[in-house]
Structure 1
């Protein structure tokens, strides 16, 4: 066997070995790439799902905020309307015709003057109140009408001012009025 034949045989064995290694390397690289692509796809899907969930959470949060804001605006509008109705009622009571006001004062005073000593009223009603009662007229008070009746030592009093009566009636009937106005 000649030297050329040995060299050819070594070259052939080397090429075969190189081809074998190259094939194994190609298979291993292909396997690594496939696994990497699979992991990348899974990671991408997980990230997309996380982003989708975050977007849905933010959407729900914004919707809830919007609903809350609408509710708050409606409640504020209702409160403003109820306040406006209360103020109009207060103005109407304050502008009662003199004869109706005097009848109302007379009724209030007669029912509450026993065991009391002093009475207060608004300036406009001073002369009418003095005529309607035997109580000592103690002075004027700032109100839309009505009277304040006090015992001798000033430790107890009856607040029968129209303002107070209207406020109490308004507080007690607020739900009923709200139901009537807003359903």
Structure 2
């Protein structure tokens, strides 16, 4: 074999080996590209899922916040309506006159009477506008007298120094008790459609 043939054989072998290496390199490069594309697809899919979850979470939070705000506004509106009803009720009570006012005042005095002994000196306080009415009604109660003004819608505050007893039978206190006892029922009736 001649040197030229050996060189040609070595060159052919080198070319074949180079071709094998190039093909193997291309195969490996194709595998790497395929793996990278798979990884990229997986990452994109994960990110899309994360974004969807985040969107869903933000949507839920926004919806919850909106529901809470609506509920708070509804409750505030209810409180405003109840406050208006209370104000109107107080105004109607304050405007009571004549026999109706006298009858209610007498019943409040009668309700307070058992708390005091018959021989006690009893002081009765009431609304300034009711002084004449109270003075007239108290003539029927021995030892009881009008003792001054009380800031209230009407009714009486009755007290005795000797027994240190005080009975608050003002229209305000009666309204407060009735209001508290019936607030749920009143609210249910006012807002039954909600």
2:180 aligned residue: 171
1:125 aligned residue: 130
- SS at the partner of 2:43? helix
- SS at the partner of 2:157? strand
- SS at the partner of 1:148? strand
- SS at the partner of 1:142? coil
Residues 1-183 of structure 1 correspond to what in structure 2 (within 5 A)?
A: 1-114=1-114, 115=116, 117-133=122-138, 134=141, 135-153=144-162, 155-183=164-192
TM-score between the two structures when normalised by the length of structure 1: 0.93
List 4+ stretches of structure 1 deviating above 2 A.
1-7, 110-114, 151-156
Q: What RMSD over aligned residues (CA atoms) do the two structures have, in Å?
A: 1.5
Asked if 2 retains the 8 angstrom alpha-carbon contact of 1:109 and 1:132, the reply is: no
- SS at the partner of 2:153? coil
Q: CA deviation at 1:154?
A: 6.7
Give the Cα separation in 2 of the matches to 1:169 and 1:65.
Answer: 36
TM-score between the two structures when normalised by the length of structure 2: 0.88
- SS at the partner of 1:143? coil
Asked if 2 retains the 8 angstrom alpha-carbon contact of 1:147 and 1:161, the reply is: yes
Which consecutive residues of structure 1, in runs of 5 or more, have no partner in the other structure? none
Aligned residues: 183
Give the Cα separation in 2 of the matches to 1:81 and 1:63.
Answer: 27
The C-alpha deviation readout for 1:54-74, integer Å capped at 9, x for no partner, is: 111111111111111101100
